């Protein structure tokens, strides 16, 4: 079992190497717009999971995640060779690519927050126009003493 700090450093270095190789060295057009978001390395430094997301040039066109996954699967050997050359570790970790769902999750959270803000505004508008249900002063007033007592 390797030191967790060493695993984090190796994961960061793998992210840098893979991102640079995808951007500059691999000439597959399906990999345009691919961004490496994170990398996790197992404790024994034998397996690395690389998380990626795809940003398109046109926001209204959905990215082709299946094409990107196929292109990354085809380039795994080349990328692993680059990682081995760039890290200098005894055993080059196997690379697994996983599509990152953070952008979709962030959009869902933003939508939920917008709905909550709208509901809060509606409640505030109703509260501004609200009238008390009973008497304006529902508390019993103390008895006033009369001269007869």
Q: What is the pLDDT along the chain (149 residues), one digit of tens a residue?
A: 678 889 999 999 999 999 999 999 998 888 888 999 999 999 899 999 999 988 765 555 556 778 889 999 999 999 999 999 999 888 999 999 998 888 788 889 999 999 999 999 999 999 888 887 777 677 777 777 777 65
| CA dist., res. 25 & res. 22, Å (int) | 6
pTM of the model: 0.70
DSSP label of 95? E
Does residue 142 lie within any of the structural domains? no
- What's the domain count of the chain? 2
- Verify that 70 and 91 share a domain, yes or no: yes
Same domain as 111, residue 38: no
3-state class (DSSP) for residue 92? coil
- Look up residue 87 and give its two tokens: 């890290």
* Helices and strands per DSSP (H, E), number in the chain: 4, 3
- Are residue 109 and residue 91 in the same domain, yes or no? no
3-class DSSP assignment, residue 127: helix
Residue 143 lies in a domain: no
CATH number for position 77:
3.30.300.20
Residue 94 shares a structural domain with residue 112: no
């Amino acid at each position: 079992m390797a030191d967790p700090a060493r695993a984090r450093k190796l994961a960061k270095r793998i992210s840098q190497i893979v991102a640079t190789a995808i951007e500059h060295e691999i000439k597959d057009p399906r990999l345009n717009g691919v961004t490496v978001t994170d990398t996790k390395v197992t404790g024994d430094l034998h397996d690395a999971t690389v998380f990626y997301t795809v940003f398109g040039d046109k926001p209204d066109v959905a990215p082709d995640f299946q094409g990107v996954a196929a292109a990354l699967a085809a380039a795994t050997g080349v990328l692993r060779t680059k990682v081995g050359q760039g890290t200098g570790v005894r055993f080059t970790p196997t690379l697994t690519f996983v599509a990152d769902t953070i952008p979709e999750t962030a959009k869902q959270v933003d939508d939920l927050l917008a709905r909550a803000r709208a509901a809060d505004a509606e409640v505030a508008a109703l509260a501004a126009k609200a009238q008390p249900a009973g008497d304006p002063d529902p508390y019993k007033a103390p008895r006033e003493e009369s001269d007869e007592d």
